[in-house]
């Protein structure tokens, strides 16, 4: 079997197969498939027409597409089908079938002209009361809950759908929608039909869904398919001398194996594994002597002692950050993060180099601070932001993947409203600016930031009175779909999307609004800055009203506390109380985290800031799942997508090279060693702990090399700090000392 990528072969003429003139073909039936096979035998295989025999049990061709003018009844036809833009095999065939109506043109030409001049769409998709417009207005009328029911079915494995009905997955939230009316009338589904069949139809026709309200996704022939397709093929084949045998019913086919057609092959029932084993033992397995003389060999090579050389290919990004400490596993974690960045930053920042290779916004949004420290990735990220701008939706939604890796499906635009992911439009340029002071990166992306933030605010303004009342209800994001805390322990990806913690959107409306106000101020847009500050402040109040009990968080998930503290959504005393609760939850969880993509980068920072550095270190050094060092203990050399990437049986899950959780390295530089660079401002505030013994971070920053390290000798701690030329550093030590250090190396 020969496989090809692309469609160029549809336009090339194949060579005439050797021996084709001595072969015959026998085709049973005259439906579309049978006639297509005969046409390809004539056109591509170049078989003589009189060597092709087509048997049809009826007096007319067409199979289920036949038609007849029956006196007293009228014209009757049995079959027909809609077509879409991607019937590639059909287009390939009918470009070669001459029209039976117009000289000098093909059936495909006629079809194309017809659908250009008379496109198929309906101004009135549904009616009621004997022809009155049903008033659906081309809308699906799907609620968030209904959309998630459809998504759940779409992502459910086939084997879990056996024996299940559609009604086992959908309730009236779907069945009472325009979408279901469009769908069931288009594809003839009932509520009690197979859930598996429904899923398969969604997968097959997902590109049609947008055209369901007006039929714009469909194409039709001028006449029924008998006149428009069957008859032209019949005439084409008859022109080549193909033999049609009507009123001939084929009831049985006997295949003669042996005799003059080749050797009689022994039926052994030998399994493929046995064949391979015999091949390995004897060098070859007897083949048909009438086939190729080349013998197929099965070779087993022992690779136990083999040595391999691998070449890592990534964009030119000098390593700018190095970290070392008294714990070898932590050092390996840093190296794993560097390798994951190298493995994924090739032209664009991809989520993983194997499975998807996609430029996910959410991954970059949480990793950007760490990525800028470990490697000089500014040019790669700058280029990728251009892809984000090009792929932003007109209404402000951010494409989750930029550039796109495939044709967007029906659910793609819905998930492109995801808070946290879309906020990368603001978070990433802001991080680049803060690290370098480059205002151009803000100016280049300002329109994109504005459009995304306006969209997120628009989601909030859809809040209904039934959902929430109060002065700040219109600043509470309660509608739309979100990925939520992706890869949160104990939560499947489907559950994350099905129940994405609605507080996430409101939190980012406040956080991103605050950053956008700062960005606008830096660009000299004072009026914009004031507007964004006002929105951010109202979003904070909305968050408190909707998701706290007078400033007290009541969730049982660590992420809710981390995000509220990190985004400054609480008062100072309330933040301290939240940190107290977070510390207790981590301790009660055996010093394991249960945070996902969005909140994990802030976890240790939040704990250390509010007096729980010991807990942060215990989290860092935890080596049972879920934890950063669990994968190191399992022999990982890159960062995993999930906390338990390889199960107890050695089976991997998701990606094993996924840089996102490597964001913890940001805390090693910025928390453990305390290096913070924001444009011209350099601050150093280390957080030493005896658990590591010593630590040192080196950062070749845009302003020069910065070093910060500490070492224990008994209970005493010695600090070594290097300040680059033409800079000063504001240093804060745990013992309360505050110092301004000049350029050079200092021991404290």
Beta bridge pairs of residue 165:
194
Alpha-carbon distance 676 to 208, whole Å? 51
Cβ-Cβ contacts under 8 Å for 57 (sequence gap 6 or more): 247, 248, 249, 250
* Tokens standing for residue 567: 């985004």
Catalytic residue selected from 56, 149, 485, 641: 641
Residue position matching structure tokens 């409306």 = 509
Beta bridge pairs of residue 731:
684, 739
Cβ-Cβ contacts under 8 Å for 485 (sequence gap 6 or more): 491, 496, 500, 501, 504, 557, 559, 595, 596, 597, 598, 599
H-helix segments, 125-269: 144-155, 172-175, 178-187, 195-205, 225, 231-239
Q: Catalytic site residue 101?
A: no
The greatest distance separating any two alpha carbons of the chain, rounded to the nearest whole angstrom, comes to 107
Alpha-carbon distance 616 to 591, whole Å? 9
DSSP per-residue string spanning 328-377: HHHHHHHHHHHHHHHHHEESEE-S-TTTT---BHHHHHHHHHHHHHHB--
Is there a contact between 710 and 688 (Cβ–Cβ < 8 Å)? yes
Is there a contact between 178 and 136 (Cβ–Cβ < 8 Å)? yes
Alpha-carbon distance 539 to 361, whole Å? 23
Tell me how many helices (H) and strands (E) the chain has. 25, 18
Cβ-Cβ contacts under 8 Å for 692 (sequence gap 6 or more): 325, 326, 327, 330, 617, 672
Q: Catalytic site residue 356?
A: yes
Is there a contact between 649 and 639 (Cβ–Cβ < 8 Å)? no
Alpha-carbon distance 333 to 345, whole Å? 18
* Tokens standing for residue 200: 């398969």
Catalytic residue selected from 356, 382, 518, 730: 356
Residue position matching structure tokens 């010093």 = 591
Which residues belong to the active site?
356, 641
């Amino acid at each position: 079997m020969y496989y090809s990528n692309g469609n160029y072969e549809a336009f090339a003429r194949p060579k005439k197969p050797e021996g084709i003139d001595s072969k015959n073909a026998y085709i049973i039936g005259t439906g579309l498939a049978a006639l297509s096979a005969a046409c390809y035998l004539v056109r591509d295989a170049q078989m003589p027409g009189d060597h092709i025999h087509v048997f049809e049990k009826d007096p007319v061709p067409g199979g289920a597409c036949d038609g007849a003018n029956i006196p007293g009844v009228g014209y009757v036809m049995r079959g027909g089908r809609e077509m879409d833009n991607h019937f590639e095999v059909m287009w390939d065939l009918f470009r070669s079938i001459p029209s039976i109506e117009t000289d000098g043109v093909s059936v495909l030409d006629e079809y194309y002209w017809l659908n250009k001049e008379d496109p198929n769409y309906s101004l009135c998709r549904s009616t009621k009361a004997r022809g009155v417009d049903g008033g659906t207005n081309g809308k699906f009328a799907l609620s968030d809950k209904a959309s998630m029911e459809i998504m759940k079915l779409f992502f459910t494995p086939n084997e879990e759908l056996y024996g299940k009905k559609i009604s086992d997955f959908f309730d009236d939230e779907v069945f009472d929608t325009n979408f279901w009316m469009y769908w069931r009338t288009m594809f003839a589904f009932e509520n009690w039909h197979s859930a598996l069949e429904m899923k398969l139809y969604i997968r097959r026709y997902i590109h049609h869904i947008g055209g369901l309200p007006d039929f714009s996704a469909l194409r039709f022939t001028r006449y029924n398919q008998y006149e428009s397709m069957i008859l032209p093929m019949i005439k084409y084949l008859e022109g080549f001398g193909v033999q049609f045998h009507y009123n001939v019913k084929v009831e049985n086919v006997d295949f003669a194996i042996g005799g003059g057609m080749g050797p009689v092959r022994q039926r052994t029932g030998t399994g493929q594994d046995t064949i391979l084993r015999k091949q390995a033992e004897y060098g070859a397995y007897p083949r048909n002597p009438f086939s190729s003389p080349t013998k197929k060999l099965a070779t087993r090579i022992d690779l136990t002692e083999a040595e391999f050389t691998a070449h890592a290919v990534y964009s030119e990004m000098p390593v700018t950050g190095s970290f070392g400490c008294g714990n070898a596993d932590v050092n390996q974690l840093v190296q794993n993060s560097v390798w994951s960045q190298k493995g994924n930053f090739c032209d664009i920042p991809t989520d993983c180099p194997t499975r998807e290779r996609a430029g996910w916004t959410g991954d970059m949004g949480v990793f950007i601070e760490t990525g800028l420290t470990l490697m000089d990735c500014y040019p790669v990220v700058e280029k990728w932001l251009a892809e984000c701008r090009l792929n932003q939706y007109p209404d402000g939604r951010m494409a989750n993947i930029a550039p796109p890796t495939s044709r967007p499906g029906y659910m793609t635009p819905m998930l492109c409203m995801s808070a946290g992911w879309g906020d990368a439009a603001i978070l990433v340029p802001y991080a680049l600016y803060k690290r370098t002071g480059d205002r151009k990166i803000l100016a280049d992306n300002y329109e994109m930031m504005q459009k995304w933030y306006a969209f997120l605010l628009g989601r909030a303004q859809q809040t209904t009175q039934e959902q929430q009342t109060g002065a700040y209800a219109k600043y509470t994001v309660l509608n739309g779909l979100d990925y939520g805390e992706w890869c949160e322990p104990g939560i499947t990806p489907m559950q994350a999307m099905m129940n994405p913690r609605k507080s996430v959107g409101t939190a980012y409306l406040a956080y991103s609004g605050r950053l956008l106000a700062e960005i606008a101020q830096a660009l000299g847009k004072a009026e914009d800055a004031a507007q964004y500050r006002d929105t951010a402040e109202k979003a904070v109040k909305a968050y408190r009203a909707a998701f706290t009990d007078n400033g007290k968080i009541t969730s049982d998930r660590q992420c809710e506390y981390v995000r509220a503290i990190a985004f400054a959504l609480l008062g100072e005393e309330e933040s301290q109380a939240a940190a107290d609760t977070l510390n207790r939850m981590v301790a009660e969880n055996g010093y394991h985290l249960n945070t996902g993509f969005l909140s994990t980068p802030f976890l240790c920072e939040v704990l250390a800031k509010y007096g729980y550095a010991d807990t942060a270190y215990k989290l860092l050094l935890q080596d049972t799942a879920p934890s950063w060092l669990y994968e190191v203990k399992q022999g990982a050399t890159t960062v995993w997508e999930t906390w338990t990437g390889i199960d107890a049986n050695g089976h991997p899950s998701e990606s094993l090279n996924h840089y996102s959780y490597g964001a913890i390295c940001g805390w090693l530089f910025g928390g453990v060693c305390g290096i913070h660079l924001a444009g011209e401002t350099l601050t150093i505030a280390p957080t030493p702990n005896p658990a590591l013994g010593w630590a040192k971070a080196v950062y070749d920053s845009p302003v020069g090399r910065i070093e910060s390290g500490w070492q224990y000798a008994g209970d005493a701690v010695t600090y070594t700090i290097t300040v680059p030329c033409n800079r000063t550093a504001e240093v804060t030590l745990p013992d309360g000392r505050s110092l301004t250090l000049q350029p050079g190396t200092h021991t404290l």
